[in-house]
Amino acid sequence: MIVKLAWKNIWFKPLNTILSIVLLTASVAIISLLILLQEQFEKQFSSNIDGVDVVLGAQGSPLQLILSSVYQVDAPTGNISYSEAKTWMKHPFVKSAIPLAFGDNYRGFKIVGTTPDYLSKFGATVSQGKIFQADFEVVVGAEIAKKLNIKVGDKFFGSHGDAAEGEVHEEFAYKVSGIASPTGKVIDNLILCNIPSVWAMHENHEHADENPAHGEEGHIHFEGDEHDHDHHDHEKAMPVSEEGKEITAVLIKFRNKMGFVTWPRLIAQNTKMQAASPAIEINRLFSLFGIGLQALQYLAYGIMLISGISIFIALYNTLKERKYEFALLRVSGASRMQLLTLVLFESILLCFVGFIFGTIVGRIALLLISSSTDEEYKMTFDPFAFIWQKEGILFIVTIFVGVLAAVIPAIKAYRLNISKTLANA
Amino acid sequence: MSILQAVAETTLIMIQTKNLAFSYNGKVNFNFPDISLDSGQVLLITGGSGKGKTTLLHLLGGLLKAQSGSIRIGDINIESLSNKKLDKFRGKNIGLILQQSHFVEAFSVFENVVLSSWLATGQKAEEKAKSLLAELGLSDQIHKLTSRLSIGQQQRVSIARALVNEPQLLLADEPTSSLDDENAYKVADLLSQLSKEYGAALIIVTHDQRLKDRFSNQITLV
């Protein structure tokens, strides 16, 4: 009955109530969105670096190298010589090394030349068909297969670079030999083939020694920067030699910590390449936008404080009108504690409703964000996930704000002098 | 007086006060005449303003603590009750009707009456509330908000609320002063009729001439 009374009371003055709930909803929505985003973002980023101690790649920004080669979200820093990379891949410290060669895309999904080890690094298996063996055989990521409805045996043409609108390599068709199992990691959105396929796709007669990155985003050529597709036709059958070939990066896992410590210097001193640690770079990235997230979080808590004040003012203002109601409840047999409970409960109910709405709104926002990041970065967030610990703390904080806002009005109701109130009526 | 007689007397008498005195900050002092009333009886307390009519009513209702003297309602000496017990006792045994009706505005007429039973006993006397409201001619109004009712109707809701727990004592503070003649007589009739029906002692504090003409058992505070 007290709950019913509190519930009816808060909706009896709907404007005050709506203001308080809107403010609470806004703050809870922002905070829960941030909690979910941060948690899932970090999880996705961290899960992808499992099994990668350093990335060997062309000089440039180490963060860019990591983003491009591990997460497939940025343009690569450039190419490295396959023969030179190979000597380092055989280094005694190295436990495993997975070469990567980027070239084309199919409808915006990257086609990556690599070895079957790349699948096992992500814990993926070939769920249908078989692994790529011959040139131009590809294994398609689970997510792509689902979205584009690709089946084993399908054929398609890749587009050059990483923009879906790039020129189409019509001379060679890729053939789907298998479909990878879903992992929830970047591999779900990649098309994998062997490295010679990438080389063959970009082979041409006019060799140029240098391979400058074009002005376009992520425009990486293997072998020369001018394509002349007319010459490709009679080249089909030619075996691709490794001589003078280039790849984009190598994912390295060490046998022990030694490599982790010594390699960055070793590589920098002896080669034109760099060895970047994904753990360090990603930490740097997190701490960079961690500041932004924190600022947003403070803002949200600020809004929550304001909503607390708004509840306080609303309760305090109506206290004058409601003192007859309170006196009457006392006359009807309500104890002081029941009045105290009533006022506290009204405030807590408001906060509870605000929390529920906020949690829902935050998840709707995450759903919207997820669909846009899915389009742009092939990265999705799960709006139905619950981070019990952090959201639990948020819940407690919200309820605490409610209690805090109601303390003074509740005590005033508790101390109400019924006789005086009724005598002055 | 035999023991039997004494027992009979104490059970018959619903309310009895002795040497009640009260003072506001030691400046305004009241000494009240003793009151003794049986169930079903009506007592009118009259007197000019500032003579302590409302103060006496609040003392009887346990809203104020007397400085000295005793109040016995039924078998209970209310001076001896703790605050919490007094709240419960008041809810169960004392019905209060005020000059201006106050309600829980967010609740309907029916909910207001039921709330009163729930606060006093922890039970929702819904059937009782319905029949009482019907008896008071408010059957059509029970699901309205109290603010939609006329003042006369509101006063009748107050009566229903005061009676829903079948109290031993019914206290009314100027119940008719804001009503027109028709409604005033109606309320007076209902009060005396229902207090008899429910076996409650009825004490009305008033300076309303219409009530003075109607009830003969009066004391005047001077």
> pLDDT tens digit string along B158-184?
999 999 999 999 999 988 888 889 888
- CA angle centred on A322, ends A321 and A327, rounded to 5°: 125
Q: Any chain A CB within 8 A of the CB of B101?
A: no
**Hey, are the CB atoms on B61 and A11 less than 8 Å from each other?**
no
Which pLDDT score is estimated for A366?
Answer: 92
Structural domain boundaries, residue B137: 3-220
Tally of CB atoms within 10 A around B87? 25
Residues of A in contact with B120 (CB under 8 A): 332-333
Tally of CB atoms within 10 A around A3? 12
Q: Is the pLDDT of residue A352 over 90?
A: yes
Q: What Rg, from alpha-carbon coordinates, does chain B have?
A: 17
Q: Any chain A CB within 8 A of the CB of B181?
A: no
Q: Which of B105, B114, B205 to mutate to test the interface with A (most CBs of A within 10 A)?
A: B105
Say how far apart CA A198 and CA A100 lie, in whole Å. 10
* Segments in chain B forming alpha helices (H): 3-12, 53-60, 83-93, 109-121, 126-135, 151-163, 181-197, 209-214
Q: Is the pLDDT of residue A172 over 90?
A: no
**Hey, are the CB atoms on A334 and B96 less than 8 Å from each other?**
no
Average pLDDT score over chain A: 83
Beta strand A109-114 pairing with A191-194: parallel
Say how far apart CA A391 and CA A395 lie, in whole Å. 6
Question: Would you call A240 helix, strand, or coil by DSSP?
Answer: coil
Q: Which pLDDT tens digit goes with each residue over A74-100?
A: 888 888 998 888 888 888 888 889 999
Burial of A423 (0-12, 13-18, 19+ CB in 10 A): middle
**Hey, are the CB atoms on A333 and B119 less than 8 Å from each other?**
yes
CB A183 within 8 A of CB A123: yes
Residues of B in contact with A330 (CB under 8 A): 87
Beta strands in A71-224 (DSSP E): 80-81, 94-106, 109-114, 126-129, 137-140, 155-156, 159-160, 174-180, 191-194
Of A334, A423, A425, the CB nearest to B87: A334
Beta strand B201-205 pairing with B42-46: parallel
SS3 content of chain B, % helix, strand, coil (to 5): 45, 25, 35
- For every one of its 222 residues, what pLDDT tens digit does chain B have, with 9 covering 90 and above? 455 555 444 446 788 999 889 988 878 888 999 999 988 889 999 988 888 888 999 999 988 888 889 999 988 898 888 888 888 899 889 999 988 888 998 999 999 999 999 988 888 989 999 999 998 889 999 999 999 999 889 999 999 999 999 999 999 998 888 888 988 898 899 899 988 888 899 999 998 899 998 888 999 888
Q: Which pLDDT tens digit goes with each residue over A370-422?
A: 888 877 776 778 888 888 888 999 999 999 999 999 999 999 999 988 888 88
Lookup: tokens for B213: 């003409």
Say how far apart CA A152 and CA A129 lie, in whole Å. 6
The nearest CA of chain B is from the CA of A342 a distance in Å of 12
Of A1, A12, A423, the CB nearest to B115: A1
- CA angle centred on A49, ends A48 and A55, rounded to 5°: 125
Say how far apart CA A109 and CA A195 lie, in whole Å. 17
Lookup: tokens for A239: 């075996």
Which residues of A fall below an 8 Å CB-CB distance to B? 1, 5, 8-9, 11-12, 324-325, 327-336, 338, 418-419, 422-423, 425
The torsion of the CA quartet B127, B132, B138, B141, rounded to 10 degrees, works out to: -30
For position B147, which CATH number holds?
3.40.50.300
Which pLDDT score is estimated for A386?
Answer: 85
Find the helix packing angle between A14-48 and A278-331, rounded to 10°. Answer: 160
Q: Any chain A CB within 8 A of the CB of B119?
A: yes
Q: Any chain A CB within 8 A of the CB of B178?
A: no
Q: Which of B28, B63, B124 to mutate to test the interface with A (most CBs of A within 10 A)?
A: B63
The nearest CA of chain A is from the CA of B50 a distance in Å of 12
Which pLDDT score is estimated for A244?
Answer: 77
Number of domains forming the structure of chain B: 1
**Hey, are the CB atoms on B103 and A329 less than 8 Å from each other?**
no
Task: Using the CB atoms, write b or e for B2-13: b if 16+ within 10 Å.
Answer: eeeeeeeeeeeb
Residue of A354, A366, A360 whose CA lies nearest to A397: A354
Q: Is the pLDDT of residue A170 over 80?
A: no
Say how far apart CA A152 and CA A413 lie, in whole Å. 73
**Hey, are the CB atoms on A330 and B104 less than 8 Å from each other?**
no
Sign of dihedral through CA atoms A224, A228, A229, A232? negative
Which pLDDT score is estimated for A217?
Answer: 41
Tally of CB atoms within 10 A around B154? 21
Residues of B in contact with A336 (CB under 8 A): 83, 87
